[in-house]
Amino acid sequence: MMMTATVLCPLDDIPDGGAKQVEPAGEAEGEAAIVVLRRGEQAWAYRNVCPHFSIPLNYEPDTFWTYEGEHLMCAHHSAMFRFEDGVCVDGPCLGTALTRVPVHVEGRQVTAGDEDGV
């Protein structure tokens, strides 16, 4: 069975230990952007919406605060989210999680699709 996948961005466009904002393709107008996180050859993606107040995780487009390739911080409330599962480990929304976008890396391209291959 073939998986329908959408290329989000080249893996090398994301700083190692950092994040990149990607606009969703072919989705309803007003759909939240996607934040793609990278550690080495692995990538994870989430909707760019903090579960605390449903606002973007960043102040400026494509500018995210990450720490030691482990955590993504909300620029508005300093909530800290793990790369691997998007769970908030510190801050005002402790225990909640970002909305995951399933992705995998193939041929150094980060693609979104029906399964998580990382």
Tell me the per-residue pLDDT of 30-89, one tens digit each, with 9 for 90 and over: 678 999 999 999 999 999 999 998 999 999 989 999 999 999 999 999 999 999 999 999
Q: Which residues pair with 44 in a beta bridge?
A: 37
Residues in the chain: 118
Q: Identify whether the C-beta of residue 47 lies closer than 8 Å to the C-beta of residue 34.
A: yes
Tell me the per-residue pLDDT of 97-113, one tens digit each, with 9 for 90 and over: 999 999 999 999 999 97
pLDDT at 115: 52
Global pTM reads: 0.88
CA distance 73 to 6: 26
Tell me the per-residue pLDDT of 6-35, one tens digit each, with 9 for 90 and over: 899 999 999 999 999 998 766 545 678 999
The structural domains of the chain, ordered by start, are 6-112 (2.102.10.10)
CA distance 80 to 102: 20
Place of tokens 């150094």: 108
Tokens, residue 81: 């989210």
